[in-house]
């Protein structure tokens, strides 16, 4: 169902920022593209300003499998180790867009907070590029986080159960229906050919049977 964004219609000078929540095994990190920290529904998002950039979010009628890239510029070289040490891959990424009022707070129109979710996916890769700042005399890094949509995750997911007797018995100890899988694996079946034995013969029709008769 389409979401109505009242802030677009009610505010000719639209001001907005992107808000990101990165949920990792070590904790949850929140940041936004605003110049200062913004608190939304009790959650404070660190303001990174222009240091945060997000690639375009593809909006289609159907679900899309395109990736999203989040870039954090100006990362101190000392903090690069923290990025590498944390298990970022597989973390959940959520992106919202919030619209501001004249006080740089999230608008509320008609009782609806103008804060809308745009994307949710999984981190599948990270890329770090370092440059040396001559003025600061230190290394500055740009961390790019590549996120895959849940559609890609579901497409690559291996589903179902293996039918080897050992694995089947581990999950279904009392079920012996897969015990003969190993025996028939290398067997060749000529489907459609007349059976040569081992099967039950097709019952013949009674002598007094005629087509279209019930007797």
Q: Is 80 helix (H, G, I), strand (E, B) or coil?
A: helix
Residue 14 falls within a domain, yes or no? yes
Percent above pLDDT 70 for the chain: 73
Q: Do 136 and 167 fall into the same domain?
A: no
Q: Do 114 and 176 fall into the same domain?
A: no
Q: Do 26 and 123 fall into the same domain?
A: yes
Q: Do 14 and 45 fall into the same domain?
A: yes
Contacts of 33 (CB under 8 A, 6+ apart): 17, 18, 19, 47, 48, 49, 50, 52, 53, 54
User: Closest Cα to residue 156, out of 127, 124, 126?
Assistant: 124
Q: Do 145 and 181 fall into the same domain?
A: no
Q: Do 76 and 11 fall into the same domain?
A: yes
Q: Do 178 and 84 fall into the same domain?
A: no
Contact (Cβ atoms closer than 8 angstroms) between residue 29 and residue 50? no
Paired tokens of 75? 């990362």
Residue 51 falls within a domain, yes or no? yes
What's the confidence (pLDDT) of residue 203? Answer: 53
Residue 20 falls within a domain, yes or no? yes
Residue 1 falls within a domain, yes or no? no
Residue 210 falls within a domain, yes or no? no
- Exposure string over 181-207, b if 16+ CB within 10 A, otherwise e: eeeeeeeeeeeeeeeeeeeeeeeeeee
Alpha carbon separation from 93 to 42, 51, 123, 213 (Å, rounded): 19, 18, 7, 70
Domain containing 79: what range?
Answer: 6-156
Instruction: Compute the distance between CA of residue 39 and CA of residue 190 in angstroms, rounded to an integer.
Output: 69
Residue 203 falls within a domain, yes or no? no
Residue 62 has pLDDT above 60, yes or no: no
The residue behind tokens 């000392």 is 78
Residue 78 falls within a domain, yes or no? yes
Q: Do 28 and 55 fall into the same domain?
A: yes
What's the confidence (pLDDT) of residue 214? Answer: 45
Q: Do 165 and 140 fall into the same domain?
A: no
Q: Structurally, how many domains does the chain consist of?
A: 2
Q: Do 22 and 108 fall into the same domain?
A: yes
Residue 215 has pLDDT above 50, yes or no: no
Q: Do 63 and 84 fall into the same domain?
A: yes
Residue 63 falls within a domain, yes or no? yes
pLDDT tens digit sequence for 123-174 = 888 888 888 877 777 777 888 888 887 776 666 666 667 777 888 888 888 8
pLDDT tens digit sequence for 164-201 = 788 888 888 888 888 888 777 777 777 777 766 655 55
Q: Do 75 and 138 fall into the same domain?
A: yes
What average pLDDT does range 27-35 have in this prediction? 88
Which pTM was predicted? 0.61
């Amino acid at each position: 169902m389409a979401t109505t964004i009242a802030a677009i219609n009610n505010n000719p000078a639209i001001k907005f920022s992107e808000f990101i929540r990165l949920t990792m095994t070590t904790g949850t990190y929140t940041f936004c593209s605003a110049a200062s920290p913004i608190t939304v529904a009790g959650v404070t998002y660190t303001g990174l300003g222009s240091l945060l950039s997000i690639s375009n979010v593809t909006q289609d009628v159907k679900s899309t499998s395109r990736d999203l890239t989040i870039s954090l510029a100006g990362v101190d070289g000392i903090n690069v180790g923290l990025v590498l040490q944390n298990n970022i891959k597989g973390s959940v990424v959520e992106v919202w867009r919030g619209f501001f009022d004249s006080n740089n707070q999230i608008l509320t129109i008609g009782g609806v907070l103008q804060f809308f979710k745009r994307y949710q996916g999984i981190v599948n890769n990270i890329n770090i590029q370092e440059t040396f700042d001559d003025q600061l005399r230190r290394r500055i890094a740009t961390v790019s986080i590549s996120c895959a949509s849940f559609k890609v995750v579901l497409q690559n997911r291996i589903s179902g159960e293996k039918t080897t007797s050992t694995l089947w018995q581990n999950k279904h100890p009392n079920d012996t229906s897969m015990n003969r899988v190993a025996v028939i694996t290398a067997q060749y079946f000529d489907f459609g050919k007349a059976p040569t034995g081992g099967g039950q013969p097709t019952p013949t029709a009674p002598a007094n049977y005629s087509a279209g008769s019930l007797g």
